[in-house]
Every structure is written in C-alpha cells, then in structure tokens.
Amino acid sequence: MKITAGNHKMRISVRASFAVILLMYLVAGAALDTADINEKLQALSGYKRGHSRETLIAVEKLIRQSQGDAEQRKYVEKGLAELLESDVTTECKEFICGQLWFIGTEDSVPAIAKLLTDEKTVDMACYAIGQNPSAAAGKALRDALAAGSPTVQVRIINLLGDRKDAQSVEALGRFVLGGEKESAVAAVAALGKIGGLRAREVLVQTRGSGREDLRLAATDAYLQCAEDLTADGKDAEALAIYKELAGKDEAAFVRSAAVQGLADVGGGEAVRLVVAALRDANRMVRTTARGCVRTMQGDGVTQLFAAELTKISPPDQVLLIAALADRGDPAALGVLTKAAKSSDLDVRKAALTAVGRLGAASSVQFLIEAAKAAAGSDERRVAIRSLTVLRGPAVDDAIIKSMQKAKGSLRAELIAVLPERNAVTAVGPLLVEAGGDDSAVRRAAFKALSRLAGEKDLPSLLSLLADTPAGSARKDAERAVVAVARKIADVNDQADAVLGALHGEKRIDVRTSLLRVLGGIGNDKALDVVRSALKDADTQVRDAAVRTLAAWPNAAAAEALLGIYRDAQNQVHRLLSLRGLVRVLSVSARKYPVEKALEIYRWAMKLAGSAQEKKLVLSGLSNVAHRQALEMAVASLDDESVRAEAGSAVVKIAAAIAASDPLAAKAAAQKVLSVKTGESIRKQAEKVIDLIERLQKSDNIK
C-alpha cells in the first residue's frame, strides 16, 4: 500500500490507542489487592501459640512486598492498627506490635496508645512504639504516663529515657521528687539519658535532697549526662560535672568514674585534676588516674602532665613519674632528666627508671653519669638497670663504647648490662675484655660471653682459656666454654672444638681445664676422652679425670666410676668415685635402667670397705623403687654400724612400692620395727604399715 498523509495519520492513531490500552492493563494489574490483604490480616485474629505459623508468614510477606510501595504499606499498617483495636487474642496483639515496630507511623499510634495503660499489654505496646519517630508517639507515651499504674509508669519512663524525650523532663522531674521509689529511680535514669540543662538541674537537686535511696542513681545519671556532653563536644559543661563528681565527698567509685571522664574531656584543668587523683587515698581512684595519664589523648598532653611535676610533693612526683613512664611518650624526657637530679632519693630513682623506659641511645651517657654520681648502691643499681631496657638500634653500640672508656667496677657493671640486652654485637669487644688484667672485668666478660657467644666463637674462647692464669679466672673461662658449647644443636658435636684444643696440648694445667670442660658438656665423645685420661702418665691429669667423672652431669659415667671405685688405690679417688657414682645414679634415677642400677649397687655394696662407704651406697639405693633394692637394704639392717641408714632406706623404698608390692613392703617395714633404730625411723615404718593396711582394706588385698 502506498503511504499517504492520510493513512500515515491512521497508523499513528492505532499505535497510540494500543499504548493506552497497554497502560490501562498494567495499571489494572498493579492495583492494590485489598481483598487479599484483608483476608490475610483477618486470618491473624484467632492466632494462638501452637497454631500453624502460615498466617504469620503470610503477613510478614505482605510487609516485605510493601517495601517501596507506600500505598500498600500504609494500607497494611491501617489494617494492623484496626485489628489491634478489635477483640483478638493476646498472641495476635504481640505479633501485630512486632510488625508495627518495623512499619509503624503516626497512623498506628492511637491503636497502640490504648495498650499502653494496661499492665498486660504495656510491654508489647512499648515495643511497637519504641522506634516510632513521630511526635504523636512521644505524646502518647507522655499521656499514658499520667494514667497508668506504677508498673506501667516504670516501663514508659524507661522508654521515654531511651527515646531521649526532652518534652517529658518536667513530668519525670515530678516522679523523681514526689513519686514512689521504683518510679523515682527509673525517672532519674531516664533524665540521665535525656540530658539537657533542666534534666541536669533535677539531678543536682536530687543528689542534694538527702534521699540516699536516690543519690546513687542520680549520680550515675549525672555521669551519663557528662558522657553525652563530651560526645557532643560540649567539653566545658562536661568538665564542670566531672570536676564536681571528683570531689573528696563523693564515693571512691564515683571519683574514679569522674577521673576517667576528665581524661576523656582533656585539657589543662583536666590534667591537673587527674594529677591530683594520683594521690587520692583510695587505691581504685589512684589506679584509674594512673591509667588516665597513660592513655589520655591530645596534642601536648604529655607536656601538660610533665609541667605539673614540679608543682607537687615528692611522693606525688613518684606517682606521676611512674604514670608518665607508662604513657611511653619520650616528650617527657626533658622533665624526667631534671627530676633525676632531685634532692629526694625516691624521686631520683623513679625518674631514672622512667628514663630507661622512654629513652634511647642519647640517654646512655646520662644514665652512666647518674650511676657514677649515685648517692648509694641502690640508686646506682637503678641507673644501671635502666640501661638494660633502653630501646633503639644504636643503644648497644653506645653502651659498648662507654664500657670501653669506663674504669674500675663501672666497666664490669656495664659489661653485665650487655647480656641482659642480648647485645650479640658485643662479643668481639667482650673477648678483648676477657683477656684483660682486671679480674672483676674479666669475670664479668666471661659471664657475658657465656650468654652472647656462639659456636663460631669457641676457638677464641678456648684460646682465652689457655692463656688465662689458673685459678678462679680460669674457672670462669671454663664455664663460658661449656655454656657456649652446649648451645650447639647436635649434642654429638658439642665437644668437638674442645677435643680439637686438647689434642696436642702439652700444658698440664690447660689439659686439666679442658677435661673439666668436657665434663660440663657431658656427651659420649667427651666421656670416652675423659675415661682415657684415667690412664694418663701425669698424676694431675688422672686426678682431674677422676674428679671430672665424679661430677659428670648424667649416669653415663656410672660404670667408669664403679671401675675407679673397684680399682683405685688412692683412698681419696675411691671415696670421690663412690660419691660421684651415687650422685649420677640418683640424678638420673628415672632415665637409667633400673636393672643396671641394681647391679651397680650390688657391686658397690660388696666393694664397700667401711661404714662410711656403705652409708653412701644405702643413700643412693633408697632412690631405687624396686623390690630387689628393698631386699638389699633389709639385709643391711643386721649391720649395726649402718642400721640407721639401712632403716631409712627401707622405709623410703617400702613407701615407694607400697601400692605395687604391698606384701614385701609391709614385711620390710615390720623388719625395721623388729630391730633397734631411731624413733623417727620407727614412726616412718609404722606409717608405711598403716598405709599398706589401708590399701589392703580398700582394695581387698590378701
């Protein structure tokens, strides 16, 4: 068809008509389905607990669907409000109030208001209206306040406080000043939440009214007002409240809360009041104040606190200095260094401690000079101890340099600081100090090296040991080598450097020192070499080997010691080896095989040639909780020269095996009672027998 002006207009008209029809169809489809809504709402009316929740779910779905559709939401709210005013179940009312909490506006307030004055429904009504932002909601609550019972009034008062309803202040004030206690307490708390000048006036009046039953609640509410003022940036008003509540006539917990509030406000006056609280008679207040000094925020706060230091008494200065140290701000260092020169000893000590906690490398020389100028050893120790806690990468180097310049005892004291700081960079300088002439410095250096040196430093330490004169200084070197060698992770390698130094060493005194070092290390390689030294041609070396084995750190040397005890012609070595044997078996009693220990003790008892030696064997045997050990000890009861020691061993072993071998233990204890021993041993034997009889009775042991 040929398009002309006429038929073109006709086609446009057809399209327009189609669009109108489509729009009408869409509008009709989106029209509010009130019938469906009414049906679902009406289904709620008979709901009770235990019924199907389908009706509740359907209404909840309606409310979700109404989001973004003001007309539907308004209709649903209206329907719920009407239903709330009708004769429906309590459970239905609870559900409706829960939904109105979500969607309630001023339109539903009249229906909710009717529930506010009834004790049975006030809680659900307050829940429904609690978040309602309309002015009508606040008015409904205020109106209900005058009409309800005391129970209702308390519930509404609490809600007015939560809503910060300023228009209710006068009414609440009347409850405070003339209502029942429960209502008055609730009104006081509500006024604290609402705040404002008039509310604060009522609270002040209440605090001063003489009603002790309200004073605590009013004080708490007054503090709440101050907190809210601080949050709103009204620091001057908050400060006035906190200053009042920090007064000496207030209870300690109130003063404590006020001090914390002052810290939150900040400023010069708050700082002065917090400082004053540091000397409060109550510990809780002092603790709070110290915490405030530590945590108060703001530019220049540290300087404000520091500026107060010279204005207070020495005891108070000590408290403030400690609090400044807790604060951790180096800005206080200038004032603290001045305080360290105070005429008061306690102030000086507190300041020196604080400098240690706040200072850095620049404080090293100050603390050293303070130590040198100290009035007594106690103050000197404080200054030196502060060096151990200084922080910063350059501190160790500064202390090392100062140590190298120091004279006399100060040099040794500074050396002792280095291991406390784990200053591993000091190992080189300490090796130099360990080779010096001053015995105190040398000893301090070896002690520090034992903690700071590592495996790579062992050759240098061994060289120092060899060059150090025999005596106490040599012993210090030996202890350092042992400590460093035992840091090596693989136990089998710990003695290698020492064995290397021992190989080819001709000097007898050095060889004996190295043997003692091997004894301190105590691994298998060391044991083999020390045992070999028992056959050395030199008597000093042999003596050192015996003494080293007698001091061995574990029972690995037990058999070697038994051999010495058996073969030694030297009575000193014989006694040393037996003492060592008993010691190593005792310290390793839980790890050493009991059968081997028993065999060694049998041999030792056979070899014992004197009462003294037998007593030593019995003392060790008493640590072996075994029937055979008990039998050996019982056999010695017949020897009058060691009867007391044998009796002591018997009762100790019997007590240890009473549960596992009660018959043998009881018989042994009875044997003790049959011979003449001391009263103490007899009482112990009787206790063992009593224990066993009780065990037999409870466990029916025959």
Amino acid at 60: E
Distances (CA, A) of 184 to 145, 158, 202, 523, 535: 13, 11, 12, 81, 99
Helices 458-467 + 508-521 axis angle, to 10: 140
**What is the pLDDT averaged over residues 134-158?**
91
Q: Taking a C-beta distance cutoff of 8 angstroms, is the pair 206, 188 a contact?
A: yes
Query: 107: pLDDT confidence band, cut at 50, 70 and 90?
Result: very high
CB 220 within 8 A of CB 254: no
User: pLDDT, tens digit, for every residue of 362-373?
Assistant: 999 999 999 999
Q: What would the two tokens of residue 246 be? A: 């920090």
Tokens 């056999």 belong to residue: 635
* Cβ atoms 536, 542 nearer than 8 A: yes
Q: Do residues 17 and 42 both lie within one domain? A: no
Q: First vs last Cα of the chain: how many Å apart? A: 126
Last residue of a domain, one of 116, 134, 152: 134
| Residue 22 shares a structural domain with residue 40 | no
* Total residues found in the chain within this entry: 702
- The reply to whether 58 and 123 lie within a common domain is yes
In our burial notation (b when 16+ CB lie closer than 10 A, e otherwise), range 676-694 reads: ebeeebbebbeebbebbee
C-beta contacts of 201-207 below 8 A and 24+ residues apart = 202/169, 202/172, 202/173, 202/176, 202/177, 205/177, 206/176, 206/177
Q: Give the pLDDT confidence of 638-672 residue by residue, as tens digits.
A: 999 999 999 999 999 999 999 999 999 999 999 99
In a domain, 114, yes or no: yes
Two structure tokens written together for 356:
């240690």
User: Is residue 84 domain-shared with residue 14, that is, in the same domain?
Assistant: no
* Residues 128, 106 within the same domain: yes
Among the three residues 118, 134, 150, which one is the final residue of a domain in this structure? 134
Number of domains in the chain: 2
Q: What is the mean pLDDT of residues 310-325?
A: 91
pLDDT by residue (tens digit) across 328-362?
A: 999 999 999 999 999 999 999 999 999 999 999 99
Which of 101, 134, 167 finishes a domain?
134
Does 431 map to a domain?
no
Amino acid at 275: V
Contact between 27 and 68 (Cβ < 8 Å): no
Rounded (10°) angle between helices 571-587 and 558-567 = 160
Average pLDDT taken over every residue of the chain: 91
Contact 510, 465 (CB under 8 A): yes
pLDDT for res 341: 95
Least Cα distance to 561 among 523, 520, 530 occurs for 530
Structure tokens at 245: 């509540």
Q: How far apart are CA 254 and CA 246, in angstroms?
A: 7
Contact 193, 224 (CB under 8 A): yes
* Residue 130 CB burial class (10 angstroms; 0-12, 13-18, ≥19): middle
Return all residues near 201 (Cβ < 8 A) that are at least 6 apart. Answer: none
Q: What is the pLDDT of residue 161?
A: 95
pLDDT at 1 over 90: no
| Residue ranges in 551-661 assigned as alpha helix (H) | 558-567, 571-587, 594-607, 611-621, 627-635, 643-656
- Separation CA 112–CA 575 (nearest Å): 101
666 vs 668: CA distance, rounded Å: 5
> What CA–CA distances, in Å, run from 371 to 49, 343, 396, 398, 445?
81, 15, 18, 16, 20
Under 8 Å between Cβ of 278 and 293: yes
How large is the average pLDDT for residues 205-214?
A: 86
* Contact yes or no for 411/403 (Cβ under 8 A): yes
Mean pLDDT, to the nearest integer, of 2-25?
41
pLDDT recorded at residue 213 = 83
Nearest-5° Cα angle at 168, 157 to 122: 35
Asked whether residue 329 is domain-assigned, the answer is no
Interval 141-156 mean pLDDT: 90
Which helix (H) or strand (E) segment holds residue 380: the answer is helix 377-389
Q: Let me know if residue 90 belongs to a domain.
A: yes
Within this chain, do residues 3 and 73 fall inside the same structural domain, yes or no? no
pLDDT on residue 180: 80
Does 18 score more than 50 pLDDT?
A: no
User: What does the alpha-carbon distance between residue 520 and residue 479 come to, in Å, rounded to a whole number?
Assistant: 8
Cβ atoms of 385 and 356 within 8 Å: the answer is yes
Where in the sequence is the domain holding 101, given as residue range(s)?
36-134
Contacts of 505 (CB under 8 A, 6+ apart): 466, 511, 514
In a domain, 105, yes or no: yes
Task: With beta carbons less than 8 A apart as the criterion, state whether 71 and 107 touch.
Answer: no
> Which residues 6+ apart lie within 8 Å of 281 measured at CB?
none
Does 4 share its domain with 53?
A: no
Residue 181's pLDDT band, with cuts at 50, 70 and 90, is: confident
Residue 18 in domain: yes
For 468-507, where are the alpha helices, taking DSSP H only?
A: 472-485, 496-502
Distance CA 317, CA 345 (A): 12
CB 191 within 8 A of CB 223: no
Distance set, CA 156 to CA 81, 106, 124, 181, 321 (Å): 20, 18, 11, 15, 51
8 and 75, same domain (yes or no): no
User: In angstroms, rounded to a whole number, what is the distance separating the alpha carbons of residues 334 and 27?
Assistant: 81
Are residues 100 and 69 part of one domain? yes
Residue 122 located in a structural domain: yes
pLDDT at 539 over 70: yes
Where residue 311 falls among pLDDT bands split at 50, 70, 90? confident
Q: pLDDT category, 591, cuts 50, 70, 90?
A: confident
Are 77 and 62 part of one and the same domain? yes
Same domain, 45 and 129: yes
Distances (CA, A) of 144 to 129, 153, 188: 12, 8, 18
Q: CB of 336 within 8 A of CB of 354?
A: yes
CA distance 620 to 605: 11
pLDDT digits (tens, 9 = 90+) for 252-300: 999 999 999 999 998 888 888 988 888 888 999 998 998 998 888 888 8
Exposed e or buried b per residue across 211-239, where buried means at least 16 C-beta atoms within 10 angstroms of its C-beta: eeebbebbbebbbbbbbbbbeeeebebbb
15 pLDDT above the threshold of 50: no
Burial readout 433-462 (b: 16 or more C-beta within 10 A, e: otherwise): bbeeeeeebbbbbbbbbbbbbeeebbebbb
Of the candidates 401, 411, 405, which has an alpha carbon nearest to the alpha carbon of residue 434?
Answer: 411
- Reported as a pLDDT band with limits 50, 70 and 90, residue 248 is confident
At residue 29, the 3 state secondary structure works out as helix
Q: Tokens 């839980």 — which residue?
A: 590
Same domain, 26 and 40: no
| Residue 564 included in any domain | no
pLDDT digits (tens, 9 = 90+) for 456-500: 999 999 999 999 988 888 999 999 999 999 999 999 999 999 999
